[in-house]
Amino acid sequence: MSQAVKSRRADQDARRTAILDAAAEVFFEQGYAAASIDAVIERIGGSKRNIYSMFGSKEGLFIALVTENARRLFDPLVNEGTVHKDLRETLTDFAIRLLHLFMSRRMAGVYRVVVSEAARLPDLAASFYRNGPDLAASWVADILAQACARGEIQVDDPKLAAQRFMGILRGNLYMEIVLDLSRPMDSAEIDNTARSAVDLFLNGVKTKS
Amino acid sequence: MSQAVKSRRADQDARRTAILDAAAEVFFEQGYAAASIDAVIERIGGSKRNIYSMFGSKEGLFIALVTENARRLFDPLVNEGTVHKDLRETLTDFAIRLLHLFMSRRMAGVYRVVVSEAARLPDLAASFYRNGPDLAASWVADILAQACARGEIQVDDPKLAAQRFMGILRGNLYMEIVLDLSRPMDSAEIDNTARSAVDLFLNGVKTKS
DNA sequence: ATTGACTGGTAATCTGCGTTACCGTATCAA
DNA sequence: TTGATACGGTAACGCAGATTACCAGTCAAT
């Protein structure tokens, strides 16, 4: 019996992730309002009934979609952030991973829909920001505060400095990606960009000597 | 007769700007898809017929709306950019004006709808970017290239440096504004932010001495 | 003053889509 | 095996909103 129950639950989970995958394609491609439940169902077969019993409504599906994708995208960034002995190395490492994240199609998709629905779903926007970019900035701010305490750099406000570091990394390129005007960088370009961005930042905050 | 024609044209123009103003409220508030022509008309009275004869379609109205707003927003930024003798002063000046722009409700509104419709209207997204952020970056890049030629700073790629300068200015704050999570900065905060951002950037690119 | 063209308003049309009602079928306990 | 329960599918419902047809008032020129 537990066998049967288990396999049924497994089916449910598989179905759920299939729906979310299909929904990602549709919603991230076309935006919330233009996306239709029918379009989601077309990609995986089955019935709309299914979506409504699992997610309650179009909005419910959307919120689940954004929440899970945001978590999956940002979790590794912060949790797998390794702190090296050398500040430059730590920041470069982070920069590379942040740029990879920003260059991913999935990230651009999530960002686009969160932006466009922010007015209607403020809680979703807030949770995206706090569990994503803001969390990452806090992680960097910690690193910077420690380096500051060691006298390696001089920053008045570590959080602000961290946000500016992330700003250097994004530059205008992230806007180009979000607007779909530019091909994402490949790994080699990301490495170079990360390195020179860290150079600029560390020069900027270095203690005078 | 030319008198009469003129006043009729003036009426047309007044009507047109009234429509665009009302459309700005509706579209920037609710997004393209959720916005309705009816909602636009409700704010100024009159008839939908009006909008269709002037703009052809909902999409035509939207494109006119975005184009005109983008132009109005970015034109002063670049055209009134004054180049002082001192690089720091020039950049600080620019920074203050860019931050004021980014803090404006109107700018956030335009950016939100451009992002959310970028996939469906790629030309609109491209023209927004090229006549806006990219143009501004080019202006800064020029300034930087000149300073570099004078030996005041050391940058390999002035355009990239300019984009990074703009990135420092935005930090994460612009995302907070776009997601409606944060109150825009007031003038005093903008001044301070601009100054410390310019400090960071100029330290970062200063020629070693 | 009259005619003719045009601007603007009301109200219908038509489509697309979120949501739900209803029905067949498969699963599981007894 | 059988009855009950719940799941999935089909097809309809209802609504919202873009677009348009048609009508009335208005202004200019003769």
Round to whole Å and give the CA distance between A191 and B183: 35
pLDDT score of A209 = 57
Residue range A64-205 forms a domain whose CATH class is: mainly alpha
Cβ-defined contact of B205 to A201 (cutoff 8 Å): no
From residue B207, give the alpha-carbon distance in Å to each of B140, B147, B170: 18, 11, 25
Residue A202 in this model has a pLDDT that exceeds 70: yes
Q: Is B150 helix (H, G, I), strand (E, B) or coil?
A: coil
* Cβ of A151 less than 7 A from strand D: no
pLDDT digits (tens, 9 = 90+) for A8-55: 566 677 889 999 999 999 999 999 999 999 999 999 988 899 999 999
From residue A135, give the alpha-carbon distance in Å to each of A115, A163, A173, B131: 18, 11, 21, 33
Superfamily holding A1-56: Homeodomain-like (1.10.10.60)
Instruction: Give the residue on B whose Cα is nearest the Cα of A194.
Output: B164
Tell me the backbone φ, ψ of residue A207, rounded to 5 degrees: -70, 140
Tell me the backbone φ, ψ of residue A77, rounded to 5 degrees: -60, -45
Q: Is A209 helix (H, G, I), strand (E, B) or coil?
A: coil
Q: Which amino acid is at B46?
A: G
How far A83 CA lies from chain B's nearest CA (Å)? Answer: 22
Residue A131 in this model has a pLDDT that exceeds 50: yes
Cβ of residue A95 closer than 8 Å to a chain B Cβ: no
Q: Is A206 helix (H, G, I), strand (E, B) or coil?
A: strand
Residue A7 in this model has a pLDDT that exceeds 60: no
Structural tokens at position A183: 């091909």
Per-residue pLDDT of chain B (209 residues; tens, 9 = 90+): 333 334 555 667 788 999 999 999 999 999 999 999 999 999 998 889 999 999 999 999 999 999 999 999 999 998 988 999 999 999 999 999 999 999 999 999 999 999 999 999 999 999 999 999 999 999 999 999 999 999 999 999 999 999 999 999 999 999 999 999 999 999 999 999 999 999 999 999 988 75
A-B C-beta contacts closer than 8 Å: 146
Structural tokens at position B191: 């001044």
> A 108-137 residues with CB below 8 A of B?
111-120, 122, 125-126, 128-129, 133-134, 137
DSSP string, B63-123: HHHHHHHHHHHHHHHHHT----SSHHHHHHHHHHHHHHHHH-HHHHHHHHHHHHHTTT-HH
Round to whole Å and give the CA distance between B173 and B184: 9
What's the first-to-final CA gap in chain A, in angstroms? 73
pLDDT score of A12 = 73
How far B162 CA lies from chain A's nearest CA (Å)? Answer: 8
pLDDT score of A10 = 63
Residue among A79, A115, A110 at smallest CA distance from A97: A79
pLDDT score of B115 = 96
pLDDT score of A4 = 38
What is B65-205's CATH topology? Answer: Tetracycline Repressor; domain 2 (1.10.357)
Please tell me which residue, B59 or A6, carries the higher pLDDT value.
B59
Task: Say which residue the tokens 């970056």 belong to.
Answer: B137
pLDDT score of A153 = 97
pLDDT digits (tens, 9 = 90+) for A44-53: 988 899 999 9
Show me where the domains of chain B are located.
1-56, 65-205
CB–CB of B124/B63 below 8 Å?
yes
Which nucleotides of chain D are near protein (any atom < 7 Å from a CB)?
7-11, 16-22, 27-29
Round to whole Å and give the CA distance between A50 and A137: 39
The dihedral of CA B75, A174, A192, B201: what is its sign? Answer: positive
CB–CB of B206/B144 below 8 Å?
no
Instruction: Give the residue on A whose Cα is nearest the Cα of B182.
Output: A126
Residue A3 in this model has a pLDDT that exceeds 80: no
pLDDT digits (tens, 9 = 90+) for A92-110: 999 999 999 999 999 999 9
Q: Residue A50 half-sphere exposure, CB side, CA atoms within 13 Å?
A: 20
